[in-house]
Amino acid sequence: MTIDKIKSVVEANRGIERSFRFHGTRNQTDEFQGVITDLYPAIFTIQLENHKIKTFSYSDILTQSLEILH
């Protein structure tokens, strides 16, 4: 998968509530729900249910650190 394809997938999911899984350091996994709100050239933001914002890069999806669950 290329970065351009990932950007189009993220754009297609913008504004829709989705579940996400983030694989962090030391085998820690964080699952959360949120809405992709803003897209930038290198990053995108997800607003969580508690109104907090998380920021990820498109390469997080490329390296499978972040998964968009349906």
Domains and CATH numbers, the chain: 3-69 (2.30.30.100)
Per-residue pLDDT of the chain (70 residues; tens, 9 = 90+): 899 999 999 999 999 999 999 999 898 999 999 999 999 999 999 999 999 999 999 999 999 999 999 8
Burial of 66 (0-12, 13-18, 19+ CB in 10 A): buried
Whole-angstrom distance, CA of residue 66 vs CA of residue 59: 9
Strand partners, 54: 46
pLDDT attached to residue 70: 80
Nearest to 28 by CA among 56, 65, 57, 62: 65
Amino acid at site 20: F
pLDDT attached to residue 1: 85
With a CB cutoff of 8 Å and minimum separation 6, the contacts of 11 are 39
